Chains A and B, each alone.
Chain A
Amino acid sequence: MHAQETFYDVMRSHGITRRSFVKFCTLTAAGLGLGHEFAGKIAHALETKPRTPVIWLHGLECTCCTESFIRSGNPLVGDVVLSMLSLDYDDTLMAAAGHQAEEILEQTIEKYDGQYILACEGNPPLNEDGMYCIQGGKPFIEKLRHMADHCKAIIAWGSCASWGCVQAAKPNPTQAVPIHKVIHDKPIIKVPGCPPIAEVMTGVITYMLAFERMPALDRQGRPKMFYGQRLHDKCYRRPHFDAGQFVEKFDDEGARRGYCLYKVGCKGPTTYNACSSIEWNGGLSWPVKSGHGCLGCAEDDFWDKGSFYSPVSDLGVTGNVEHTANKVGGVIAGAAAIGVAAHAAGTVVAKATSKKPTATAEEEIR
């Protein structure tokens, strides 16, 4: 991150003169109905260290990532938005609308080419030329590509942007795809979860501002600091897992004693997220603590693993019908056992129907 490079430097490097810079500041102040003295202050601020601009786009999504973001307690989201970064575009929160809103995108590219962070919540559909998600009369994917072309790095918020999430669940009627399937030439930081934990979201973004670098990512492109371990590794119910003490059904004796939720479908053993350590909503609780198993909401394709209430998942070989490994495998092994028994019976029958055992006859059967 070249956060030291000020807005003024960038403008100069684009061949914009001091004169037009001052004019820009005066116009900004005037646009706000503010006096001349503001223009000077704005110019001064922009010549020193600017806040990193963030463009936050929304594709096909449910906006729960934004909702989660505004739940951040440390830091408070108000502080993030007012003092830490410059959220220049976010259709869920911004005051402007229509073409006044869309103009900001072009202004940002002009002012901060290669400097801004592109945050994307939701994902683009590819079917119908992308018209399952229309913005400004055009497919969302155009906006995404355009803004990605000029950004410094992309944050893929949530499981939608990281993996595809619910709209990409079978049969994925809109052909929704995660960001990395359509943007290949920019660093992408995946922050999965449906939604991600608020403090993880603000944690990732403030890390980038504070340390002026990308967070270390794991093999799948997730920040190691939050996605380095499974919930299961830090779950407070883990002693019950090891002891073989499981909730057999909801609200039973075991549930009241806080036994492990593995048998009622907890996906903690295969889910990388910070729920069991950072917890939700200011460290208050998390799904497993409240008594429901983890759905695996930060994992790729977690919707298509069969029932959320079974520890054994769908093999993903067929459509929506549940074909778990134990069901399919059981049928195969069962068929083998039956086959063997039948074959053994056949052998006995074959032997019995053959002639009285003489030396040659016996040999024949062998």
Chain B
Amino acid sequence: MAIDTNTLKYLDNVPGPFYVFELPVRVWHWLHALSISTLIITGYLISSPPPSLHGEASTHFVFGYIRMIHFIAGMVFTVGLLVRFYWAFVGNYHARELFVIPVWRKDFWTGMLHELKYYAFLTRKSSKFVGHNPLAQIAMFFTNVLLGLFMICTGLALYSQGTGAGSWADRMFGWVFIIEPSSQTVRMWHLFGMWIFLTFVIIHIYMAIREDLYSRQNGVGCIISGFRRYRDDGPMGPQ
């Protein structure tokens, strides 16, 4: 793309398509989606185990596997977020959008206002954006970055209870129990985080699909191909 999308303002009127999500971001997105789905399912099962299987304990390892899958997915999630963070430095402008909210930019807030109106059916005309729309950006920052870090810290702190005092997990994440001495409470906040994630996922997927169907730009296609395409060549902002 000849145009430097880094300098694009939210509502600038420029023709697309643009290359927004580089391959590593796209790969990460789908891995991330997979690990979170796994974490939500296994996490819920840890909080409310399925009915017991009778027979010899040694012939079953159901709960053990549920937990093991959770831990593996947790590690994928953790490493993934770290790699994604690294990519924010070396990737394109849009690779940083997840981590930086341009609160200082007026057009961020006008864009946000418009998105809110749009979803509240107060205006019928959708906006066009190159990268994330401001509403999605803020939601992604709070859930996938901040809540994600919270889930990693609490998750690995809980994990350190199993690996034991002095283990790497304990040395790196044991501080969580200085802030909250009750590990049951840490566990419950971890569980609560799962529900917030689930809430995000429900809304996020709905919006992605809805975007694809009804808005002036592509949605799902964008995170698959990496290209932002527009359905009209009208101006970016609301009309």
Contact = CB atoms under 8 A, between A and B. Distances in A.
Q: Do A and B bind each other?
A: yes
A99 interface: no
Contacts of B196: 329, 332
A245 B57 contact: yes
The 5 closest A-B pairs by CB, nearest first: A329-B195, A244-B62, A243-B60, A242-B64, A244-B63
Interface class of chain B by DSSP: helix
Given A219-B178, A312-B47, 5 more contacts: A242-B61, A305-B184, A315-B188, A332-B196, A363-B231
Interface string B132-173: 000000000000000000000000000001101100000000
Given A219-B174, A219-B177, A230-B161, A333 B184 contact: no
B153 to A, nearest CB: 15
Contacts, number: 168
Given A340-B203, A347-B214, A366-B231, A328 B192 contact: yes
21 contacts: A239-B57, A243-B53, A243-B64, A244-B63, A245-B53, A245-B57, A246-B52, A254-B54, A271-B184, A272-B183, A296-B184, A315-B188, A316-B185, A325-B194, A328-B195, A332-B196, A346-B121, A347-B214, A350-B124, A366-B215, A366-B216
A218 B165 contact: yes
B202 A340 contact: yes
B195 A366 contact: no
B182 A302 contact: yes
Residue among A239, A354, A366 facing the most chain B CB atoms (10 A cut-off): A366
Nearest to A248: B52
A45 to B, nearest CB: 41
Contact of A244 (B66, B119, B199, B231): B66
Interface of B: 47-54, 57-64, 66, 119, 121, 124-126, 161-162, 164-165, 174-175, 177-178, 181-189, 191-192, 194-196, 198-199, 202-203, 206, 210, 214-216, 231-232, 234
B100 to A, nearest CB: 26
B52 A244 contact: yes
B234 to A, nearest CB: 8
